[in-house]
Amino acid sequence: QKEVEQNSGPLSVPEGAIASLNCTYSDRGSQSFFWYRQYSGKSPELIMFIYSNGDKEDGRFTAQLNKASQYVSLLIRDSQPSDSATYLCAVNSWVDSSYKLIFGSGTRLLVRP
């Protein structure tokens, strides 16, 4: 069973702070990793994806990947109340003869004004 683990939270940070969201995965063969944001009552929307070890930056968001340690993280700089949502980590794994995205259960982020 290939697994993706996230702390359910809530992670509470003050407005303007850096929010750090973490995810670990079990499949060493995974090649691509995704972060989705999901507002309450809405569908998940893609924020970032990362394939290579290291950091990838997009605006206020930075994804970090460490394949040796099997973790991927998402940093949100200058957090805003509008960033309050559940963040889902997803890992692309080869399962039953096809690639499938395995999702973590999500971390709820609360940004306090």
Partner 1 sequence: NAGVTQTPKFQVLKTGQSMTLQCAQDMNHNSMYWYRQDPGMGLRLIYYSASEGTTDKGEVPNGYNVSRLNKREFSLRLESAAPSQTSVYFCASRGTGSGNTIYFGEGSWLTVV
User: What one-character-per-residue DSSP string does 28-56 give?
Assistant: TT--EEEEEEE-TTS--EEEEEE-SSEEE
Closer CB to partner 1, 18 or 95, in the complex:
95
From candidates 49, 60, 61, 75, binder to partner 1 by CB under 8 A: 49
From candidates 65, 84, 106, 109, binder to partner 1 by CB under 8 A: 106
- Mode of pairing for the β-strands spanning 85-95 and 107-112: antiparallel
- Residue 53 as a binder of partner 1 (CB under 8 A): the answer is no
Reading the block at residue 105, the tokens are: 């259960």
Residue 79, helix vs strand vs coil: coil
Reading the block at residue 7, the tokens are: 């702390």
Contact assessment for residue 19 and residue 112, using Cβ atoms and an 8 Å cutoff: no
Closer CB to partner 1, 66 or 105, in the complex:
105
Closer CB to partner 1, 72 or 90, in the complex:
90
**19-48: contacts with partner 1 (CB under 8 A):** 31-32, 34, 42-46
113/109 Cα distance (integer angstroms): 13
DSSP state of 81: G
From candidates 62, 64, 73, 92, binder to partner 1 by CB under 8 A: 92
* Site residues, partner 1 (CB under 8 A): 8, 31-32, 34, 42-46, 49, 51, 88, 90, 92, 96, 98-101, 103-106
